[in-house]
Structure 1
Amino acid sequence: MKNMMIRWSLSMVALGFVFNLNAQSFEGVITYKITYENLPEEMAPYASMLPSQSITTMKGEMTKLEQPLSMGMKQTTIMDNAAETGVMLMDMMGQKMAVVLDQESRKEMRGEDDVPDFEYVNETKNIAGYDCKKAIMRVEEDGQEIVLEIYYTDKLTSSKNSSLPGLKGFPLKYSTSTGQFIMTLEAESVEKRKVSEDEFSIPDGYTHMDFNEFQKTMGAMGGE
C-alpha cells in the first residue's frame, strides 16, 4: 500500500510538469479519464483505489491537478512554473499532508536531461471536440525502450518552454510509464473559462513537509 501510493504520487507530480509547461496561455478546466495497463501483481488488490479521473485547472503559470481516490481520499498537485515550485496535497487515512516541492526536487522528478524522441504519425482522433494529431514518444527505462502514444491539438496555445520539447501542441491524450505500469489520460471535456487565483491556494489544516518526510509518514502509516 505504502509503495503503491508513493509511486502514484510521483506519477501525478510528473504529469503536473507536463500540463504546467504546455499550457501557460490556456485558462480553464480539462477533465481527463485515467486508465491503467500492466499493473504489477502486488498492486492488483489496490487497483480499485486508483483514481479514474483527473481534473486539471490552469491559469497563466499555475496548474492544479485533482485526483479523487477511493474511501474519500484525494490527491491534489499545484504547480507554479514561474517560481519553479509546487506542492502536493494528500488527504488520506485521517492525515492531511502538504508536500513541498522546491526547485531541486522538481528538477529531479522531471528528469530534465531525458529528452524524448517524437515520431509524428499521419493519424488523427477527435478528443473532447478537438481534432488531434498523433505522436509516438520513445523513452528509455532500465535499458529498455518504451513506446507511448500522444494525441495533441494545436488549437490550445502551448508554451515553448515545455517538458516535452518538440511536441507541436497540447496533449489531450497522453501516456506515461512509472517503471511499474503505464497510465493513460484522455480528455473528456475542455472548458475555457476564467479561473480565480484562489483555486491555487493551499487550504488550512495541512501539515507541511518535504518529500523525504512524506515517505517516512507513509511508512509510519503502515504497509509496504
Structure 2
Amino acid sequence: MKKIITVFFLSAAVAVQAQVKVLDHAIITTKTTIVSPEGADDNIAPPPPAAEGGEVRVMRFGGDGETKSVTTFKGGMIKTYTETDMSRTTVLRDNNKKMTTTLMEMMGKKTGFYTTDEDQQQMAKRMDSMMQSRSQTAASFNNGNQVSSTDIAYADETKKVAGINCKKAFIIATRKNGTKDSSVVWYATDFKLQGITSTGGMAGGFGNFGRTTALSGLDNLAGFPMQYEMKMNRGRKMIVEVTKINTEKEVADKEFEIPKDFEVKSMKDMQNGNGGPVFQTRIGGPGQ
C-alpha cells in the first residue's frame, strides 16, 4: 500500500506540473518575519581582528522582526531590493553570467561587490571549515542536522494569498541524523517564475549565497510558493509571504543597471581587505 500511495503522489505532481506556466517577468513584494522564542540568547561573538589599517564590518542577515523586499525580474536578470531602518540593499542577479552583485547604502556610504557562483562555493567551503574548527561537537550537530532528502505531500485545502488562489502542501524534510519535520506551504498552482525558486526569506545581501537557509524542496513544488513557514536554529521561526505580485507590467532593462554613484569591487578584494573592509557574514540572526 505504501508504494501505491507514493506513486499516486508522484503522478499527481507530474500532472499538475504539466499545467504550470513559467513566467519570464514579474514584480513581487514579499514580507519575511523572523520570530525568536522568549529568552533567546542574543549575544553576538566579536568579529575577528582586521589586518593592519583595515576595518571589519559585520553583515548580519535574518535578525528578528519584519523585512519587506521587492523582487523584479526579466528573463535571466533578477533584482531584489530590501530596505530597513539602517540600510538599503539591492541584489542584482545575472543567471546567464552566473554572477551576483550586491549594492549597499549604509551610514551614508554607497558600496557594492560582485561575486561569481564559483566564488560563492569557495566561500561556503571556507565558512564550513571555520565552523568545524570552532567546535567538533557543534560541527557534528550541524552536519547531522542537514537535510538529506525532501518529500512533498499535496492537500486539497485552498486559500487566497495576495489575491491568488493557492493550494496547500507539506514539505517533509529528512535530516542526516534521521529526524524529520514538515513545513506548510501555500503555492500558486498555475505559474512558476523563470530562474526563481522563491522570493523573500534569507536572500539577504548575498543573492544565491544567502539561500543556504531557504526551505529545502521548494524547487520541486508544483507551482510558485506564495507563503510558507520554516524552523530555524535556536527555536526561531521564519514566515515568508508574498503580499503583492504584478505579472502584467513590463520591466525595463534599465531596472538592472548599476547606479554610477556606487563603488563596486570584487568580493575577493573586499574579503582580503585590499582597498576595502573585511566582511564577516552572519546569516540567520544573532549568535551566528
TM-score w.r.t. length of structure 1: 0.68
Change over 3 Å in CA distance of 1:124–1:25 after alignment to 2: same
SS in 1 for 2:42: helix
> Is residue 207 from structure 1 mapped to residue 254 from structure 2 by the alignment?
no
Check conservation: 1:49, 1:70, Cα contact below 8 A: no
Deviations 1:37-68 (A, max 9, x none): 23653179x99885531111111122111110
How far apart, in 1, do the equivalents of 2:266 and 2:244 lie?
34
Check conservation: 1:125, 1:133, Cα contact below 8 A: yes
Q: How does 1:134-153 map to 2 (within 5 A)?
A: 134-139=168-173, 143=177, 145-153=180-188
Structure 1 residue 120: deviation in Å? Answer: 1.7
Q: How does 1:42-57 map to 2 (within 5 A)?
A: 42=42, 51-57=66-72
Deviations 1:6-62 (A, max 9, x none): xxxxxxxxxxxxxxxx99624221111221123653179x99885531111111122
Check conservation: 2:102, 2:114, Cα contact below 8 A: yes
Check conservation: 1:123, 1:134, Cα contact below 8 A: yes
Partner of 1:217: 278
Partner of 1:36: 34
Partner of 1:171: 225
More displaced stretch, 188-197 vs 79-88? 79-88
Check conservation: 2:24, 2:73, Cα contact below 8 A: yes
More displaced stretch, 140-149 vs 95-104? 140-149
From 73, 83, 94, the counterpart of 1:68: 83
The code of the aligned residue for 1:186 comes to E
How far apart, in 2, do the equivalents of 1:41 and 1:48 lie?
12
From 144, 151, 154, the counterpart of 1:117: 151
SS in 2 for 1:213: helix
TM-score w.r.t. length of structure 2: 0.55
The code of the aligned residue for 1:164 comes to L
Check conservation: 1:116, 1:165, Cα contact below 8 A: no
Partner of 1:184: 239
How far apart, in 2, do the equivalents of 1:179 and 1:105 lie?
26
How far apart, in 1, do the equivalents of 2:28 and 2:251 lie?
12
How far apart, in 2, do the equivalents of 1:161 and 1:58 lie?
9
Deviations 1:157-176 (A, max 9, x none): 44599683421011111345
For these two proteins, the number of residue pairs brought into alignment is 195
How far apart, in 1, do the equivalents of 2:269 and 2:22 lie?
30
From 127, 132, 147, the counterpart of 2:161: 127
How far apart, in 2, do the equivalents of 1:23 and 1:69 lie?
33
How far apart, in 2, do the equivalents of 1:175 and 1:214 lie?
33
From 10, 24, 27, the counterpart of 2:25: 27
**Sequence identity percentage:** 24
How far apart, in 2, do the equivalents of 1:84 and 1:211 lie?
16
How far apart, in 2, do the equivalents of 1:65 and 1:176 lie?
21
The code of the aligned residue for 2:253 comes to E
How far apart, in 1, do the equivalents of 2:159 and 2:43 lie?
31
Partner of 2:190: 155
The code of the aligned residue for 1:63 comes to I
More displaced stretch, 33-42 vs 76-85? 33-42
Check conservation: 1:51, 1:67, Cα contact below 8 A: no
Check conservation: 1:56, 1:65, Cα contact below 8 A: yes
Structure 1 residue 178: deviation in Å? Answer: 5.5
Change over 3 Å in CA distance of 1:51–1:210 after alignment to 2: farther
Change over 3 Å in CA distance of 1:34–1:62 after alignment to 2: same
Change over 3 Å in CA distance of 1:64–1:24 after alignment to 2: farther
How far apart, in 1, do the equivalents of 2:64 and 2:35 lie?
15
